Amino acid sequence: MPSLPQTLSARIQAVIGVDPELRPATKPQFGHYQCNAALRLAADQGRKPREIALEIIEALDLDDLCEPLEIAGPGFINIRLRTDVLAQTVTGQLADPLAGIEQVERPATVILDYSAPNVAKPMHVGNLRSTIIGDCLVRVLRARGDRVIAQNHIGDWGTQFGMLVEQILVEGIDATTLTLDTSVELYKRAQEHFRTDESFAAAARARVVALQSGDELTRKIWQTLIDVSKAGFNRAYARLGVLLTDADLAGESMYNPMLDQVTADLIDTGIATVDAGALCVFLPGDDTPLIVRKSDGGYGYAATDLAAIRYRIDTLHADRIIYVVGSPQAHHFSQVFAAARLAGWLPDSVDVEHVGFGSVLGADGKMFKTRDGKAVTLDSLLDAAEEVAVPEVAIAAVKYADLSNSLHKDYVFDVARMTATTGDTGPYLQYAHARVSQILRRAGADGDLVNDESALITALAEPAEQALALALIRFPQVVAEVADDLQPHKLCGYLFELATHLSVFYEQCPVLHSDERQSRLVLCRATQKVLACGLDLLGIHAPQSM
Ligand code: ARG
Protein backbone atom coordinates (compact mmCIF):
# COMPACT_ATOMS: atom_id res chain seq x y z
CA MET A 1 0.00 0.00 0.00
CA PRO A 2 1.55 3.30 -1.01
CA SER A 3 1.68 6.25 1.37
CA LEU A 4 -0.97 8.97 1.21
CA PRO A 5 1.15 11.52 -0.69
CA GLN A 6 2.09 8.80 -3.16
CA THR A 7 -1.53 7.73 -3.64
CA LEU A 8 -2.51 11.30 -4.25
CA SER A 9 0.28 11.81 -6.74
CA ALA A 10 -0.49 8.58 -8.59
CA ARG A 11 -4.19 9.41 -8.85
CA ILE A 12 -3.44 12.80 -10.39
CA GLN A 13 -0.86 11.35 -12.75
CA ALA A 14 -3.41 8.80 -13.99
CA VAL A 15 -5.61 11.67 -15.15
CA ILE A 16 -3.09 14.21 -16.47
CA GLY A 17 -0.60 11.73 -17.88
CA VAL A 18 2.50 13.34 -16.37
CA ASP A 19 4.08 13.41 -12.93
CA PRO A 20 2.21 16.14 -11.03
CA GLU A 21 5.38 16.94 -9.05
CA LEU A 22 3.50 17.84 -5.92
CA ARG A 23 5.33 20.36 -3.75
CA PRO A 24 4.52 21.37 -0.19
CA ALA A 25 2.42 24.55 -0.26
CA THR A 26 4.45 27.66 0.47
CA LYS A 27 1.86 29.04 2.92
CA PRO A 28 -0.78 27.29 5.02
CA GLN A 29 -3.58 29.31 3.39
CA PHE A 30 -2.64 27.74 0.02
CA GLY A 31 -3.48 24.29 1.32
CA HIS A 32 -1.08 21.39 1.75
CA TYR A 33 0.36 20.74 -1.68
CA GLN A 34 0.79 22.69 -4.83
CA CYS A 35 0.79 21.28 -8.36
CA ASN A 36 2.38 23.28 -11.19
CA ALA A 37 1.67 20.76 -13.93
CA ALA A 38 -0.77 23.08 -15.74
CA LEU A 39 2.00 25.60 -16.31
CA ARG A 40 4.31 22.99 -17.76
CA LEU A 41 1.58 21.48 -19.95
CA ALA A 42 0.50 24.92 -21.15
CA ALA A 43 4.02 25.77 -22.25
CA ASP A 44 4.17 22.49 -24.21
CA GLN A 45 0.77 22.96 -25.85
CA GLY A 46 0.89 26.71 -26.33
CA ARG A 47 -2.28 27.25 -24.32
CA LYS A 48 -3.31 29.26 -21.28
CA PRO A 49 -2.26 27.61 -17.98
CA ARG A 50 -5.46 28.58 -16.16
CA GLU A 51 -7.55 26.93 -18.83
CA ILE A 52 -5.60 23.72 -18.48
CA ALA A 53 -5.74 23.93 -14.70
CA LEU A 54 -9.50 24.22 -14.95
CA GLU A 55 -9.71 21.18 -17.21
CA ILE A 56 -7.54 19.23 -14.80
CA ILE A 57 -9.60 19.95 -11.72
CA GLU A 58 -12.78 19.13 -13.59
CA ALA A 59 -11.36 15.78 -14.68
CA LEU A 60 -10.02 14.89 -11.25
CA ASP A 61 -12.18 13.16 -8.69
CA LEU A 62 -10.35 13.34 -5.39
CA ASP A 63 -13.29 13.95 -3.08
CA ASP A 64 -12.42 10.92 -0.98
CA LEU A 65 -9.01 12.43 -0.14
CA CYS A 66 -9.15 16.19 -0.61
CA GLU A 67 -11.14 19.33 -0.09
CA PRO A 68 -12.34 20.90 -3.36
CA LEU A 69 -9.30 21.85 -5.44
CA GLU A 70 -8.52 25.49 -6.07
CA ILE A 71 -6.75 27.36 -8.82
CA ALA A 72 -4.45 30.18 -7.82
CA GLY A 73 -2.26 32.73 -9.59
CA PRO A 74 -1.36 31.93 -13.18
CA GLY A 75 -2.58 28.31 -12.91
CA PHE A 76 -1.31 26.64 -9.77
CA ILE A 77 -3.56 23.97 -8.35
CA ASN A 78 -3.80 24.11 -4.57
CA ILE A 79 -4.58 20.87 -2.83
CA ARG A 80 -5.76 20.45 0.73
CA LEU A 81 -6.16 16.99 2.24
CA ARG A 82 -9.37 16.36 4.10
CA THR A 83 -8.73 16.64 7.83
CA ASP A 84 -10.27 13.26 8.55
CA VAL A 85 -8.07 11.61 5.93
CA LEU A 86 -4.94 13.28 7.30
CA ALA A 87 -5.91 12.37 10.86
CA GLN A 88 -6.60 8.77 9.94
CA THR A 89 -3.26 8.42 8.15
CA VAL A 90 -1.36 9.78 11.15
CA THR A 91 -3.32 7.49 13.45
CA GLY A 92 -2.22 4.56 11.26
CA GLN A 93 1.38 5.46 12.05
CA LEU A 94 0.83 4.73 15.73
CA ALA A 95 0.83 1.02 14.99
CA ASP A 96 3.50 1.28 12.29
CA PRO A 97 5.34 4.54 11.67
CA LEU A 98 6.40 3.17 8.30
CA ALA A 99 2.87 2.22 7.25
CA GLY A 100 2.60 2.86 3.55
CA ILE A 101 6.27 2.35 2.70
CA GLU A 102 6.48 1.17 -0.86
CA GLN A 103 7.11 -2.54 -0.61
CA VAL A 104 8.86 -4.27 -3.44
CA GLU A 105 7.14 -7.32 -4.89
CA ARG A 106 10.13 -9.63 -4.58
CA PRO A 107 12.55 -8.65 -1.83
CA ALA A 108 15.91 -7.79 -3.38
CA THR A 109 19.05 -9.44 -2.04
CA VAL A 110 21.43 -6.64 -1.16
CA ILE A 111 25.06 -7.24 -0.23
CA LEU A 112 26.41 -4.48 1.96
CA ASP A 113 30.20 -4.41 2.26
CA TYR A 114 31.13 -2.08 5.13
CA SER A 115 33.30 -1.49 8.19
CA ALA A 116 36.16 -3.75 7.00
CA PRO A 117 38.93 -2.90 9.48
CA ASN A 118 42.33 -4.52 9.15
CA VAL A 119 43.83 -7.16 11.44
CA ALA A 120 46.63 -5.88 13.70
CA LYS A 121 45.97 -2.30 12.62
CA PRO A 122 44.05 0.30 14.61
CA MET A 123 40.50 0.97 13.41
CA HIS A 124 40.91 4.22 11.54
CA VAL A 125 38.39 6.99 10.95
CA GLY A 126 37.52 5.55 7.55
CA ASN A 127 36.49 2.30 9.23
CA LEU A 128 34.45 4.33 11.73
CA ARG A 129 32.58 6.24 9.04
CA SER A 130 32.04 3.08 7.01
CA THR A 131 30.68 1.29 10.08
CA ILE A 132 28.24 4.08 10.94
CA ILE A 133 27.03 4.67 7.38
CA GLY A 134 26.79 0.96 6.62
CA ASP A 135 24.84 0.32 9.81
CA CYS A 136 22.31 3.00 8.85
CA LEU A 137 21.95 1.60 5.33
CA VAL A 138 21.38 -1.93 6.64
CA ARG A 139 18.58 -0.65 8.83
CA VAL A 140 16.97 1.45 6.10
CA LEU A 141 17.13 -1.28 3.47
CA ARG A 142 15.68 -3.85 5.87
CA ALA A 143 12.88 -1.45 6.81
CA ARG A 144 11.99 -1.27 3.14
CA GLY A 145 11.82 -5.06 2.99
CA ASP A 146 15.11 -5.84 1.27
CA ARG A 147 17.05 -8.95 2.25
CA VAL A 148 20.35 -7.51 3.39
CA ILE A 149 23.51 -9.58 3.75
CA ALA A 150 26.22 -7.68 5.61
CA GLN A 151 29.76 -8.58 4.57
CA ASN A 152 32.54 -7.37 6.79
CA HIS A 153 35.49 -7.61 4.38
CA ILE A 154 38.20 -7.42 7.05
CA GLY A 155 41.84 -7.23 6.01
CA ASP A 156 42.98 -10.59 7.33
CA TRP A 157 45.36 -11.64 4.57
CA GLY A 158 48.48 -10.33 2.90
CA THR A 159 52.24 -10.37 3.04
CA GLN A 160 52.32 -8.34 6.28
CA PHE A 161 51.33 -11.51 8.12
CA GLY A 162 54.69 -13.06 7.21
CA MET A 163 56.56 -10.46 9.20
CA LEU A 164 54.00 -10.37 12.01
CA VAL A 165 54.21 -14.10 12.60
CA GLU A 166 58.00 -14.07 12.27
CA GLN A 167 58.26 -11.23 14.80
CA ILE A 168 56.09 -13.17 17.26
CA LEU A 169 58.34 -16.22 16.90
CA VAL A 170 61.53 -14.17 17.24
CA GLU A 171 60.26 -12.41 20.36
CA GLY A 172 58.90 -15.66 21.76
CA ILE A 173 55.50 -14.09 22.47
CA ASP A 174 52.42 -16.12 23.29
CA ALA A 175 50.14 -14.69 20.60
CA THR A 176 47.03 -15.40 22.65
CA THR A 177 48.12 -12.75 25.15
CA LEU A 178 48.04 -10.01 22.50
CA THR A 179 45.26 -7.46 22.16
CA LEU A 180 44.35 -5.33 19.14
CA ASP A 181 46.42 -2.51 20.66
CA THR A 182 49.48 -4.58 21.48
CA SER A 183 49.37 -6.29 18.09
CA VAL A 184 49.46 -2.84 16.51
CA GLU A 185 52.65 -2.17 18.51
CA LEU A 186 54.00 -5.52 17.37
CA TYR A 187 53.26 -4.53 13.77
CA LYS A 188 55.40 -1.42 14.17
CA ARG A 189 58.31 -3.42 15.62
CA ALA A 190 58.01 -5.97 12.83
CA GLN A 191 58.07 -3.25 10.16
CA GLU A 192 61.16 -1.70 11.70
CA HIS A 193 62.80 -5.09 11.98
CA PHE A 194 61.97 -5.86 8.34
CA ARG A 195 63.47 -2.57 7.22
CA THR A 196 66.73 -2.89 9.13
CA ASP A 197 67.55 -6.58 9.26
CA GLU A 198 67.99 -8.40 5.96
CA SER A 199 68.00 -11.88 7.50
CA PHE A 200 64.73 -11.10 9.30
CA ALA A 201 63.28 -9.82 6.02
CA ALA A 202 64.24 -13.08 4.31
CA ALA A 203 62.68 -15.09 7.13
CA ALA A 204 59.53 -12.99 6.94
CA ARG A 205 59.24 -13.67 3.19
CA ALA A 206 59.69 -17.37 3.77
CA ARG A 207 56.99 -17.08 6.43
CA VAL A 208 54.56 -15.71 3.82
CA VAL A 209 55.15 -18.84 1.75
CA ALA A 210 54.61 -21.00 4.83
CA LEU A 211 51.34 -19.19 5.54
CA GLN A 212 50.13 -19.64 1.97
CA SER A 213 51.03 -23.31 1.87
CA GLY A 214 49.17 -23.94 5.10
CA ASP A 215 52.06 -24.57 7.51
CA GLU A 216 50.39 -25.52 10.77
CA LEU A 217 52.26 -23.35 13.28
CA THR A 218 52.17 -20.31 10.99
CA ARG A 219 48.44 -20.69 10.40
CA LYS A 220 47.81 -21.08 14.10
CA ILE A 221 49.59 -17.84 14.98
CA TRP A 222 47.91 -16.04 12.06
CA GLN A 223 44.51 -17.25 13.28
CA THR A 224 45.31 -16.03 16.79
CA LEU A 225 46.14 -12.59 15.43
CA ILE A 226 42.75 -12.53 13.71
CA ASP A 227 40.93 -13.61 16.86
CA VAL A 228 42.67 -10.95 18.91
CA SER A 229 41.76 -8.25 16.40
CA LYS A 230 38.21 -9.52 16.09
CA ALA A 231 37.76 -9.10 19.83
CA GLY A 232 38.97 -5.50 19.43
CA PHE A 233 36.58 -4.86 16.51
CA ASN A 234 33.69 -6.29 18.51
CA ARG A 235 34.48 -4.01 21.43
CA ALA A 236 34.30 -1.06 19.04
CA TYR A 237 31.02 -2.32 17.54
CA ALA A 238 29.54 -2.73 21.02
CA ARG A 239 30.64 0.79 21.92
CA LEU A 240 29.00 2.14 18.76
CA GLY A 241 25.90 -0.01 19.16
CA VAL A 242 25.93 -1.31 15.59
CA LEU A 243 24.37 -4.50 14.26
CA LEU A 244 27.54 -6.24 13.01
CA THR A 245 28.34 -9.64 14.49
CA ASP A 246 30.88 -12.39 13.82
CA ALA A 247 28.33 -13.95 11.48
CA ASP A 248 28.90 -11.04 9.07
CA LEU A 249 32.66 -11.58 8.84
CA ALA A 250 33.79 -12.45 5.35
CA GLY A 251 37.40 -11.32 5.30
CA GLU A 252 39.90 -11.22 2.47
CA SER A 253 41.32 -14.64 3.41
CA MET A 254 37.99 -16.28 2.66
CA TYR A 255 38.55 -15.66 -1.07
CA ASN A 256 42.02 -17.17 -1.09
CA PRO A 257 40.99 -20.53 -2.52
CA MET A 258 39.19 -18.77 -5.38
CA LEU A 259 42.04 -16.58 -6.61
CA ASP A 260 43.74 -19.12 -8.87
CA GLN A 261 40.49 -19.67 -10.73
CA VAL A 262 39.87 -15.94 -11.01
CA THR A 263 43.26 -15.37 -12.63
CA ALA A 264 43.01 -18.45 -14.83
CA ASP A 265 39.66 -17.24 -16.19
CA LEU A 266 40.95 -13.74 -16.77
CA ILE A 267 43.94 -15.12 -18.69
CA ASP A 268 41.84 -17.61 -20.71
CA THR A 269 39.46 -14.93 -21.86
CA GLY A 270 42.34 -12.62 -22.75
CA ILE A 271 41.10 -9.96 -20.34
CA ALA A 272 44.28 -9.98 -18.26
CA THR A 273 47.74 -9.80 -19.74
CA VAL A 274 51.23 -9.95 -18.27
CA ASP A 275 53.00 -6.62 -18.17
CA ALA A 276 56.47 -6.28 -16.62
CA GLY A 277 55.85 -9.55 -14.80
CA ALA A 278 52.53 -8.46 -13.28
CA LEU A 279 49.16 -9.75 -14.40
CA CYS A 280 47.14 -6.69 -15.38
CA VAL A 281 43.75 -5.75 -16.73
CA PHE A 282 43.97 -2.73 -19.01
CA LEU A 283 40.71 -0.85 -19.09
CA PRO A 284 39.59 1.43 -21.86
CA GLY A 285 40.23 5.09 -21.09
CA ASP A 286 42.33 4.30 -18.03
CA ASP A 287 46.08 4.89 -17.90
CA THR A 288 46.76 2.68 -14.91
CA PRO A 289 46.00 -1.02 -15.16
CA LEU A 290 44.23 -3.04 -12.48
CA ILE A 291 46.92 -5.32 -11.05
CA VAL A 292 45.51 -8.76 -10.36
CA ARG A 293 48.78 -10.50 -9.54
CA LYS A 294 51.97 -8.74 -8.60
CA SER A 295 55.29 -9.52 -10.28
CA ASP A 296 56.38 -11.49 -7.19
CA GLY A 297 53.43 -13.82 -7.76
CA GLY A 298 51.40 -12.51 -4.81
CA TYR A 299 47.75 -11.67 -5.15
CA GLY A 300 46.62 -8.22 -4.05
CA TYR A 301 43.54 -6.36 -2.97
CA ALA A 302 42.08 -6.30 -6.50
CA ALA A 303 42.16 -10.06 -7.02
CA THR A 304 40.28 -10.53 -3.77
CA ASP A 305 37.65 -7.99 -4.73
CA LEU A 306 37.12 -9.70 -8.09
CA ALA A 307 36.68 -13.05 -6.38
CA ALA A 308 34.29 -11.41 -3.92
CA ILE A 309 32.09 -10.08 -6.73
CA ARG A 310 31.83 -13.52 -8.25
CA TYR A 311 31.02 -15.10 -4.91
CA ARG A 312 28.41 -12.49 -4.09
CA ILE A 313 26.63 -12.98 -7.38
CA ASP A 314 26.98 -16.73 -7.90
CA THR A 315 26.69 -17.94 -4.32
CA LEU A 316 24.85 -15.18 -2.47
CA HIS A 317 22.61 -14.32 -5.46
CA ALA A 318 23.02 -10.57 -5.08
CA ASP A 319 20.68 -8.21 -6.90
CA ARG A 320 22.57 -5.23 -5.63
CA ILE A 321 26.07 -4.86 -4.14
CA ILE A 322 26.98 -1.79 -2.13
CA TYR A 323 30.50 -0.90 -0.96
CA VAL A 324 30.74 1.65 1.81
CA VAL A 325 34.40 2.62 1.56
CA GLY A 326 36.18 6.00 1.66
CA SER A 327 36.23 8.07 -1.54
CA PRO A 328 39.98 7.60 -2.12
CA GLN A 329 39.14 4.05 -3.22
CA ALA A 330 36.71 5.22 -5.94
CA HIS A 331 39.17 4.43 -8.70
CA HIS A 332 39.88 0.97 -7.33
CA PHE A 333 36.18 0.12 -7.34
CA SER A 334 35.48 1.55 -10.75
CA GLN A 335 38.30 -0.63 -12.09
CA VAL A 336 37.12 -3.73 -10.27
CA PHE A 337 33.56 -3.22 -11.53
CA ALA A 338 34.74 -2.63 -15.08
CA ALA A 339 36.99 -5.70 -15.04
CA ALA A 340 34.18 -7.86 -13.62
CA ARG A 341 31.87 -6.60 -16.38
CA LEU A 342 34.43 -7.42 -19.05
CA ALA A 343 34.84 -10.89 -17.60
CA GLY A 344 31.08 -11.43 -17.72
CA TRP A 345 30.84 -11.94 -13.96
CA LEU A 346 28.75 -8.89 -13.38
CA PRO A 347 25.51 -8.96 -15.37
CA ASP A 348 23.75 -5.68 -16.11
CA SER A 349 20.85 -6.82 -13.95
CA VAL A 350 23.01 -6.50 -10.83
CA ASP A 351 23.58 -3.01 -9.49
CA VAL A 352 26.99 -2.34 -8.00
CA GLU A 353 27.57 0.91 -6.19
CA HIS A 354 30.50 2.40 -4.39
CA VAL A 355 29.18 4.65 -1.63
CA GLY A 356 32.24 6.79 -0.98
CA PHE A 357 32.66 9.29 1.81
CA GLY A 358 34.98 12.12 2.77
CA SER A 359 37.44 12.57 5.61
CA VAL A 360 37.01 13.81 9.14
CA LEU A 361 38.91 17.06 9.65
CA GLY A 362 40.17 18.86 12.74
CA ALA A 363 39.19 22.44 13.58
CA ASP A 364 42.20 23.58 11.54
CA GLY A 365 40.67 22.05 8.42
CA LYS A 366 43.42 19.42 8.20
CA MET A 367 43.13 15.68 8.78
CA PHE A 368 41.94 15.18 12.34
CA LYS A 369 44.77 14.35 14.75
CA THR A 370 44.70 13.57 18.44
CA ARG A 371 46.16 16.05 20.93
CA ASP A 372 49.51 14.27 20.95
CA GLY A 373 49.59 14.47 17.17
CA LYS A 374 48.83 10.81 16.45
CA ALA A 375 46.47 9.71 13.71
CA VAL A 376 42.98 9.35 15.14
CA THR A 377 41.61 6.01 16.07
CA LEU A 378 37.99 5.21 16.55
CA ASP A 379 38.44 5.15 20.31
CA SER A 380 40.13 8.52 20.42
CA LEU A 381 37.23 10.10 18.51
CA LEU A 382 34.62 8.58 20.77
CA ASP A 383 36.67 9.49 23.85
CA ALA A 384 36.77 13.11 22.68
CA ALA A 385 32.98 13.17 22.31
CA GLU A 386 32.47 11.46 25.67
CA GLU A 387 34.55 14.12 27.39
CA VAL A 388 31.64 16.51 26.93
CA ALA A 389 28.58 14.24 26.91
CA VAL A 390 27.31 10.99 28.41
CA PRO A 391 28.03 7.99 26.14
CA GLU A 392 24.56 7.70 24.61
CA VAL A 393 24.55 11.35 23.64
CA ALA A 394 28.17 11.32 22.52
CA ILE A 395 27.55 8.38 20.20
CA ALA A 396 24.44 10.08 18.83
CA ALA A 397 26.48 13.21 18.21
CA VAL A 398 29.20 11.37 16.32
CA LYS A 399 26.80 9.27 14.26
CA TYR A 400 24.60 12.20 13.33
CA ALA A 401 27.59 14.33 12.34
CA ASP A 402 28.67 11.46 10.14
CA LEU A 403 25.29 10.95 8.50
CA SER A 404 23.81 14.43 8.23
CA ASN A 405 26.15 15.83 5.58
CA SER A 406 26.40 14.69 2.00
CA LEU A 407 28.61 11.64 2.38
CA HIS A 408 31.23 12.73 -0.12
CA LYS A 409 31.94 15.93 1.84
CA ASP A 410 34.69 16.14 4.42
CA TYR A 411 33.40 17.31 7.79
CA VAL A 412 34.97 19.03 10.74
CA PHE A 413 35.02 17.11 13.98
CA ASP A 414 33.81 19.90 16.23
CA VAL A 415 32.80 18.28 19.50
CA ALA A 416 31.09 21.34 20.96
CA ARG A 417 28.89 21.81 17.91
CA MET A 418 28.12 18.12 17.42
CA THR A 419 27.02 17.59 21.02
CA ALA A 420 24.90 20.76 21.29
CA THR A 421 21.25 20.12 22.13
CA THR A 422 20.16 22.89 19.78
CA GLY A 423 20.63 23.05 16.04
CA ASP A 424 20.90 20.26 13.51
CA THR A 425 22.49 17.66 15.79
CA GLY A 426 21.88 14.14 17.03
CA PRO A 427 21.42 15.29 20.64
CA TYR A 428 18.78 17.82 19.51
CA LEU A 429 16.73 15.01 17.97
CA GLN A 430 17.21 12.90 21.10
CA TYR A 431 16.04 15.87 23.12
CA ALA A 432 12.96 16.28 20.90
CA HIS A 433 12.12 12.64 21.53
CA ALA A 434 12.72 12.95 25.27
CA ARG A 435 10.54 16.04 25.48
CA VAL A 436 7.56 14.54 23.68
CA SER A 437 7.97 11.39 25.79
CA GLN A 438 7.88 13.52 28.90
CA ILE A 439 4.59 15.14 27.87
CA LEU A 440 3.06 11.74 27.26
CA ARG A 441 4.36 10.56 30.61
CA ARG A 442 2.88 13.55 32.37
CA ALA A 443 -0.46 12.87 30.71
CA GLY A 444 -0.21 9.27 31.84
CA ALA A 445 0.42 10.34 35.41
CA ASP A 446 -2.86 12.20 35.24
CA GLY A 447 -4.57 8.88 34.72
CA ASP A 448 -5.30 9.79 31.12
CA LEU A 449 -2.75 7.77 29.17
CA VAL A 450 -3.16 7.75 25.43
CA ASN A 451 -4.47 4.39 24.50
CA ASP A 452 -3.10 3.53 21.09
CA GLU A 453 -6.05 1.30 20.22
CA SER A 454 -8.74 3.88 20.72
CA ALA A 455 -6.56 6.79 19.70
CA LEU A 456 -8.23 9.37 17.57
CA ILE A 457 -7.11 12.67 16.23
CA THR A 458 -10.16 14.87 16.22
CA ALA A 459 -8.66 18.32 16.07
CA LEU A 460 -6.32 19.35 13.32
CA ALA A 461 -7.55 22.87 12.85
CA GLU A 462 -4.38 24.71 13.80
CA PRO A 463 -1.80 25.27 11.04
CA ALA A 464 0.92 24.00 13.40
CA GLU A 465 -1.00 20.76 13.91
CA GLN A 466 -1.49 20.33 10.20
CA ALA A 467 2.15 21.05 9.43
CA LEU A 468 3.22 18.45 11.97
CA ALA A 469 0.75 15.91 10.58
CA LEU A 470 1.91 16.52 7.01
CA ALA A 471 5.51 16.03 8.08
CA LEU A 472 4.62 12.76 9.81
CA ILE A 473 2.95 11.20 6.79
CA ARG A 474 6.02 11.92 4.63
CA PHE A 475 8.19 9.59 6.69
CA PRO A 476 7.68 6.33 4.74
CA GLN A 477 8.51 8.05 1.47
CA VAL A 478 11.72 9.52 2.85
CA VAL A 479 12.86 6.11 4.05
CA ALA A 480 12.09 4.56 0.65
CA GLU A 481 14.08 7.31 -1.02
CA VAL A 482 17.12 6.70 1.17
CA ALA A 483 16.86 2.98 0.43
CA ASP A 484 17.06 3.83 -3.28
CA ASP A 485 19.69 6.53 -3.39
CA LEU A 486 21.70 5.66 -0.26
CA GLN A 487 21.90 9.21 1.05
CA PRO A 488 21.28 9.11 4.81
CA HIS A 489 21.48 12.90 5.09
CA LYS A 490 17.96 13.04 3.63
CA LEU A 491 16.61 11.09 6.58
CA CYS A 492 18.55 13.35 8.97
CA GLY A 493 17.17 16.44 7.25
CA TYR A 494 13.66 15.05 7.44
CA LEU A 495 13.91 14.26 11.17
CA PHE A 496 15.33 17.69 11.89
CA GLU A 497 12.40 19.25 10.04
CA LEU A 498 9.96 17.06 11.94
CA ALA A 499 11.51 18.11 15.27
CA THR A 500 11.22 21.73 14.20
CA HIS A 501 7.51 21.30 13.38
CA LEU A 502 7.10 19.67 16.77
CA SER A 503 8.56 22.63 18.58
CA VAL A 504 6.38 25.09 16.64
CA PHE A 505 3.41 22.91 17.57
CA TYR A 506 4.35 23.15 21.29
CA GLU A 507 4.61 26.89 21.03
CA GLN A 508 1.27 27.36 19.35
CA CYS A 509 -0.84 24.54 20.67
CA PRO A 510 -1.09 23.78 24.38
CA VAL A 511 -1.40 20.05 24.93
CA LEU A 512 -2.09 19.14 28.53
CA HIS A 513 -4.31 22.10 29.39
CA SER A 514 -6.45 22.30 26.31
CA ASP A 515 -9.87 21.19 25.10
CA GLU A 516 -8.05 19.31 22.38
CA ARG A 517 -5.90 17.51 24.90
CA GLN A 518 -6.77 13.94 23.85
CA SER A 519 -6.37 14.57 20.15
CA ARG A 520 -3.09 16.45 20.62
CA LEU A 521 -1.73 13.70 22.82
CA VAL A 522 -2.33 11.27 19.98
CA LEU A 523 -0.47 13.59 17.63
CA CYS A 524 2.38 13.67 20.17
CA ARG A 525 2.36 9.90 20.39
CA ALA A 526 2.56 9.55 16.59
CA THR A 527 5.44 12.03 16.52
CA GLN A 528 7.22 10.14 19.28
CA LYS A 529 6.88 6.91 17.29
CA VAL A 530 8.14 8.40 14.03
CA LEU A 531 11.07 10.09 15.79
CA ALA A 532 11.99 6.87 17.57
CA CYS A 533 11.73 4.84 14.39
CA GLY A 534 13.73 7.42 12.40
CA LEU A 535 16.45 7.62 15.05
CA ASP A 536 16.58 3.84 15.16
CA LEU A 537 17.18 3.78 11.39
CA LEU A 538 20.13 6.11 11.96
CA GLY A 539 21.38 3.76 14.68
CA ILE A 540 20.72 6.40 17.35
CA HIS A 541 19.15 5.66 20.71
CA ALA A 542 15.89 7.51 21.42
CA PRO A 543 15.90 8.35 25.15
CA GLN A 544 12.76 8.71 27.29
CA SER A 545 14.34 11.54 29.21
CA MET A 546 17.45 13.62 28.95
N1 ARG B 1 40.16 -2.99 4.61
C2 ARG B 1 39.99 -1.87 3.71
C3 ARG B 1 40.47 -0.57 4.39
O4 ARG B 1 40.58 -0.49 5.61
C5 ARG B 1 38.55 -1.68 3.28
C6 ARG B 1 37.93 -2.84 2.52
C7 ARG B 1 36.69 -2.44 1.80
N8 ARG B 1 35.99 -3.51 1.11
C9 ARG B 1 36.39 -4.08 -0.01
N10 ARG B 1 35.66 -5.04 -0.54
N11 ARG B 1 37.50 -3.74 -0.64
O12 ARG B 1 40.69 0.40 3.70
**Residue 357 and residue 127 in contact, taking contact as beta carbons nearer than 8 Å:** no
pLDDT 10s digits, 310-326: 999 999 999 999 999 99
For atom 8 of ligand 1, which residue has the closest CA? 153
CB of 343 within 6 A of ligand 1: the answer is no
HEC secondary structure over 292-316: EECCCCCECHHHHHHHHHHHHHHCC
Is the minimum distance from the CB of 252 to ligand 1 under 6 angstroms?
Answer: no
Judge: domain 426-538, CATH 1.10.730.10.
yes
**429: Cα separation from own chain's centroid:** 18
Among candidates 176, 177, 173, which has minimal Cα distance to 190?
173
- Whether pLDDT at 453 is above 60: no
The order of strands in the sheet holding 272-275 is 272-275, 278-281, 290-293
Q: What is the pLDDT of residues 290-306, one digit of tens each?
A: 999 999 888 989 999 99
What pLDDT is stored for residue 382 in this prediction?
87
φ/ψ of residue 457, rounded to 5: -95, 115
For residue 452, what pLDDT band results from cuts at 50, 70 and 90? low
Q: What is the pLDDT of residue 373?
A: 64
Residue 1, pLDDT > 70, answer no
CA atoms 17, 23, 24, 29: torsion sign: negative
Q: Measured in Å, how far apart are the chain's first and last C-alpha atoms?
A: 36
Q: What sign does the dihedral 53-55-57-62 (CA atoms) show?
A: negative
Q: Is the pLDDT of residue 445 over 80?
A: no
**152 CB less than 6 Å from ligand 1?**
no
Question: Of 113, 324, 325, which is best to mutate to test ligand 1, by the most ligand atoms within 8 angstroms of its C-beta?
Answer: 325
For the chain, give the mean pLDDT: 93
In b/e form, how buried is each residue of 271-292, taking b as 16+ CB within 10 angstroms? bbeeeeebbbbebeeeeebbbb
For 11, 105, 455, 498, the CA distances from 503, given in Å and listed in that order, are: 33, 38, 22, 9
Alpha carbons 173 and 471: distance in angstroms, whole number: 60
Which residue would you say has higher pLDDT here, 367 or 110?
Answer: 110
Higher-pLDDT residue of 454, 155: 155
* CATH classification code of 4-81: 3.30.1360.70
pLDDT, residue 446, reads 58
Could you tell me how many residues make up the chain? 546
CA nearest to 381, candidates 355, 402, 408, 354: 402
E-assigned strand segments in 356-492: 360-361, 411-412
353 forms bridges with which residues in the sheet? 322
Q: What is the pLDDT of residues 45-93, one digit of tens each?
A: 999 999 999 999 999 999 999 999 999 999 999 999 999 999 999 998 9
Specify whether the CB–CB gap between 107 and 146 falls below 8 A: yes
Domain ranges within the chain, ordered by starting residue: 4-81, 158-246, 360-418, 426-538
Percent of the chain past pLDDT 70, that is, above it, reads 96
38 lines ligand 1 (CB under 6 A): no
Q: How many C-alpha atoms does 485 have within 13 Å on its Cβ side?
A: 11
